[in-house]
Structure 1
Amino acid sequence: MEAQVSRLADKVWERFQQIPEDRRFMIAIAGIPGSGKTTLSQKVTSALNARHATLHPELLESVPVAVFVPMDGYHLTRAQLSAMEDPVNAHARRGAEFTFDGASYLALIESLRVPLSSSTKPMYAPSFDHAVKDPKDNDIPILPGHRIVVFEGNYLTLDRKPWSTAAGLMDEMWFVQVGFDVAKRRLVRRHVLAGIAKDEEEAGKRADENDLINGQQIVDEMMEVDEVVISREDGEWGEL
């Protein structure tokens, strides 16, 4: 796993050195539910920050160069789902593409593409509060010093608007590929541990009837990407 993280971090760092100082380098990392994209995104972000800290020890107390922004915060709220034409289906399918606020995600990406200057102010992305099961607005700061932004989410490489429009503004697009059987086993464990399902049977039903249906759409409608990273059952990574 670490060899792939190092390779990807090296690639980003090399490309980052080539961009103007008033630009951010932005990466979108997508994959089906249970693919391991969150883990990969966090590890790459940490590797980039460690590289920056090693090369610039005089900036130890400054803002890290890279920030990780998951798209969980762009879930529609439960109130918004309840206001839909078929609220029962909307709640049951929470996590499907239509239950995310893609327009707000695109607006953030467009704002981050405005050239940096001395007047650039912090921007904020929402997070997801699992205790209340709803997004938390303005919870993830993206500071002017964050020159590399690593985005992670199911639909970041989906070939339909507004996701495809946001994807067109990225410097790199990666897809984490995993077998559906491996993803299901991971999802079952996750749903039980998180209290989303009371037992493995209920968790498996949720995976089959929502997560993996969404996963099929994500695979079927994937845009062309720069990297396909294979997530194996043993937790290791490969490349296509």
Structure 2
Amino acid sequence: MTIEQDMQDATLDQLVEWAKALVVPGERRILGLSGAPAAGKSTVAERIVTALGPDTAVLVPMDGFHLANEVLIALGRRDRKGAHDTFDDGGYARLLATLRAQGPDDPVVYAPRFRREIEEPIGSAIPVRSTVPLVVTEGNYLLLDSGAWPAARACIDEVWFLALDTEVRHARLLRRHEAYGKSPEDAARWAFGPDERNAQLIESTACRADRIVRLS
């Protein structure tokens, strides 16, 4: 499968319907959304979860497993935050395994959340009730074939790769970085430096997705 040959044009309403088709009351299913930085993963995931309602779906982003800045500094990786080895991939895989096995009578599981305004993860921020049948997770590296990422992928029923025109994605990245306090120069340095290197790696994994989707 390649992005160009196997891309499906779809509306957001269609994505909601596809997600709804995964729901089986009394069972736990996990849907993953992957794609390059600023491809729209968070927005689409939030819209799907909102459309299905809190009794049906909950969002657990991969970004909650960013390593803390002090850890990245100690590892010498702070200047490329967002790369695949700046996440706790093992912790993410273990959480997905726990959520996958969560039975109807099991207690609430609490997942972490990433806060962009402070650039740090916050633990135990997202409650996942056992009665919610669909967990939606989104992140850059759901389809990566190294580290603990394959273990995480093994817990996910379907992964959809969101494709977006590169120029549009770059414009979104620049706006995002500036909105969170970077100067135009620093925003461009990140968008066309670390972000673009990550994007190239992420796009090389699209062939492993169950669907490659371009929102129409």
TM-score (norm 1): 0.81
How far residue 131 of structure 1 moved from its aligned partner, in angstroms, is 3.9
> In the alignment, is residue 9 of structure 1 matched against residue 13 of structure 2?
no
How far residue 16 of structure 1 moved from its aligned partner, in angstroms, is 1.8
Determine which structure has more spread, i.e. the larger CA radius of gyration. 1
Q: Which moved more, 1:205-214 or 1:130-139?
A: 130-139
Q: Match for 1:148 among 134, 140, 147?
A: 134
Counterpart amino acid of residue 186 in structure 2 = E
How far residue 180 of structure 1 moved from its aligned partner, in angstroms, is 2.2
Counterpart amino acid of residue 127 in structure 1 = R
> In the alignment, is residue 31 of structure 1 matched against residue 26 of structure 2?
no
Counterpart amino acid of residue 77 in structure 1 = A
How far residue 128 of structure 1 moved from its aligned partner, in angstroms, is 1.5
Q: Match for 1:204 among 172, 175, 188?
A: 188
> In the alignment, is residue 170 of structure 1 matched against residue 174 of structure 2?
no
Distance 2:174 2:118 in 1: 21
Aligned to 1:76: 67
Distance 2:157 2:97 in 1: 13
After superposition, what is the alpha-carbon deviation per residue over 1:41-86, rounded to whole angstroms, capped at 9, x for unaligned? Answer: 111111212xxxxxxxxxxxxx5211011122110001111221xx
Distance 1:121 1:223 in 2: 37
Distance 1:155 1:24 in 2: 22
Aligned to 1:183: 169
> In the alignment, is residue 214 of structure 1 matched against residue 201 of structure 2?
no
Distance 1:92 1:155 in 2: 19
Which 5+ residue runs of structure 1 have no aligned equivalent?
Answer: 50-62, 231-236
The percent identity for this pair of structures is 34
Q: Give the secondary structure class of the aligned counterpart of 1:28.
A: strand
Q: Match for 2:84 among 97, 103, 107?
A: 97
Aligned to 1:130: 116
Distance 1:167 1:91 in 2: 26
Alpha-carbon contact 1:33-1:154 (below 8 Å) kept = yes
Alpha-carbon contact 1:159-1:222 (below 8 Å) kept = no
Q: How large is the RMSD of aligned CA atoms in angstroms?
A: 1.7
TM-score (norm 2): 0.89
Q: Match for 2:48 among 44, 47, 51?
A: 44
